[in-house]
Chains A and B, each alone.
Chain A
Amino acid sequence: MKNYSLFKIRHGESIQVPTERKKIARSFNCGIIAENCKAPKGRQKKRNNFFRPVRDSVSFGLNPAVKTAGYFRSSLRDVCLPVILAVFVASFAYGQNDQDPIRIVRPVTFGQNPIPVSLDGFSGEVASVLKFDLYVQGFSFVSPDAAQYQISGSNSGNVIGHVTDKVARKEILSRSYAGASLRREAHALSDDIVFAITGKKGIAQTKIAFKAQSENGDGEIFVSDFDGGNPQAVTHDKTIVSAPAWVPGRLALYYNSYRLGNPDIFYNNLATGEARTIARYGGSNISPAPSPDGSKVAMILDKDGWVDLYVADADGSNLKRLTKSAEDESSPCWSPDGKWICFATKIAERRVLAKIPADGGAIQVIRTTGAPSPTEPDWSPDGKWIAFTRQAGEFDICVVPADGSADPVVLVAGEDPSWSPNSRTLAFTKRANYRYTLSVLDVFTKQVKDIGRISGNDSQPSWAK
């Protein structure tokens, strides 16, 4: 304890370490997530764990001194006293440059248990919509006896739903829905259920854009509900199209189409159907990515002779070249504060994810140790995660803390992830029998459901935010 007191005095902070002892020690062997130094009071009730990793992880920075404390507190204390002393010497070497606030670390818990609910009284489309929506948001379906929440209702006539919290023994939702299709009413009910149970906004009434491709390589851009319902073709180009990217907060898409005989970037106002050319330079104009406020668009061009990252105003004007490398940059995406653009590239013969200030500057590599050949990054709207595809023989969806403070976590087989607006679910592409289908993944429970097929190959989802 003496050494630990030193540490406390240096930083002028107090931490309830004994209650966090196990978590600190565990963090050494796992992926690491940090949270503010308020120690949780008592044991968390199970039902509150639904969004814990997202809600509690204030920052992923890891103070080495905290790690040191973890060592000191481990059961190895009696054996390794000299080592501990030495590590403390090291901690002072760090401490001199370390301006970060003190943080407690805890393991990232992917593969959480889903929330058990029972579902009674619904039939047909309403029942299947509710099951899909709740499953991909981290719920599992059990008998009423085993359920933590009992969901009941009916869909004879309008959709009616009730949710009872069986622990608190009270009804937390009772509502009926009218005036829309059964499908939409069911989605609205599922959003209310998710909100009643977790306090978080659901995703059931969100949209995605994607590419639907036929066997000959030609395709069209489609938009649909997040579960694939109500698909509508945006383009009628009968050629190669790719990389739809939804402009946040607007009914508009950027995408790439070869309809003028060249890979060019277009902007499509979905409300009016008007398509405008944004980039039609010599060479390929590909992979558009609108900034979070919609005022800028990043893209991959090679008009200057190398495949590089460029950024322009939303209409394509004021074009600026951000990278200048003979390697091929690809798949730009933005940090939610609009300050960074993350992309895939190659440095010293190694494929890496990197980020660059959106107005230009030095490139920083995003560490993805253990995830070879990373491509297709997508930054979560809450700023905490970057989802990406790794290629280790086959393709896997991975997530890594955006600040690189922990190793990536491999989730499921798949490609090209796109975050939901609530930073909990990913839409992605799954390759099976050399065909692409779209799937939805609940990141924290790893529950996956496929979306119904539109064409021979459906890929490149972009979730409307």
Chain B
Amino acid sequence: MKTMKMIYPLAFALAVMLAATGCKHQPVGITPMKGVTPPPPYEPPPNTKGDNGLPPEPPINFDTNVIAQGIPAADQTLFGGMLEDTNALAAYTIHFRYDSAAIRDSEKASLQSVASALAADPATKLLVEGNCDERGTEEYNRALGERRALAAREALAKLGLDPMRVRTISNGKDRPVDTGHDEAAWQKNRRDDFILLHPNPNAPAGVPQS
């Protein structure tokens, strides 16, 4: 009984503390519920456009995992009618971790090879196709595949390749190289394919090739 009596003042003190501290700071409009932590407030990504009145940011070192700002896409019409060579750069396909578009250090040699191949022939262009494994939902994977392709384009740009020579598409999970349903297959499917584009000698001159 004695312990029971002790409980009342203790409970009261605890409750007053809760009321005074925990609840007052609850943001308006969010319903507090037992066992539920509201998500942190959204923080917008940092302003990277340099229009915030601050001096421009220093140039970025080679690090494909840090994307400072998107590079606008190349003009699609300049790629119309080009001949696709899927074999030339097939050895340099790069792979990704699950649900990630970050380029791993182990893939940087392949990217360097792609950049060198493009540098060797200025008439060529590049198509990067981002792909995902079969896990994940469809449209989500389509967006993730595009981000993987963009990550490679950014990395190639940092290696000195003109990004206007590179176009990207995402195949989502619609173009697996391995149709298996295990990690070995998924690993192969989470990839960027590099397709070398040659100018089409038969395309009529002066007409947009599309």
Contact = CB atoms under 8 A, between A and B. Distances in A.
Nearest to B176: A217
A286 B143 contact: yes
A242 B147 contact: no
Contacts of A304: 70, 72-73
A90 B73 CA distance: 54
Interface string A109-122: 00000000000000
A85 B72 contact: no
A456 B104 CA distance: 35
A365 B144 contact: no
A351 B138 CA distance: 15
A85 B15 contact: yes
Contact of B175 (A217, A284, A327, A348): A217
A375 B34 contact: no
B171 interface: yes
B67 A326 contact: yes
Contacts of B9: 82
A382 B71 CA distance: 40
A287 B16 CA distance: 51
B140 A303 contact: no
Nearest to A369: B36
B142 A286 contact: yes
B127 to A, nearest CB: 9
B131 to A, nearest CB: 10
B140 A331 contact: yes
A43 to B, nearest CB: 28
A231 B168 CA distance: 34
A85 B16 CA distance: 8
A283 B12 contact: no
Interface stretch (A93-101, A144-152, A160-168, A184-192): A93-101
Contacts of B19: 86-87, 89-90, 93
A135 B133 CA distance: 35
In this complex, the member of A287, A307, A363 whose beta carbon has the largest number of chain B beta carbons within 10 angstroms is A307
A28 interface: yes
A302 interface: yes
Contacts of B114: none
Which of B23, B168, B174 has the most chain A CB within a 10 Å cutoff? Answer: B174
B85 to A, nearest CB: 15
Given A83-B11, A242-B138, A307-B146, A365 B28 contact: no
B205 interface: no
A44 to B, nearest CB: 26
Nearest to A348: B40
Interface of B: 8-9, 11-12, 14-16, 18-20, 23-24, 26, 28, 30-34, 36-45, 67, 69-76, 101, 134-140, 142-147, 150, 154, 167-172, 174-176, 181, 210
Given A80-B11, A330-B142, 7 more contacts: A64-B31, A85-B12, A217-B175, A325-B45, A331-B139, A375-B140, A416-B138
Lowest 4 CB-CB distances: which A-B pairs, in order? A305-B70, A282-B73, A86-B15, A82-B12
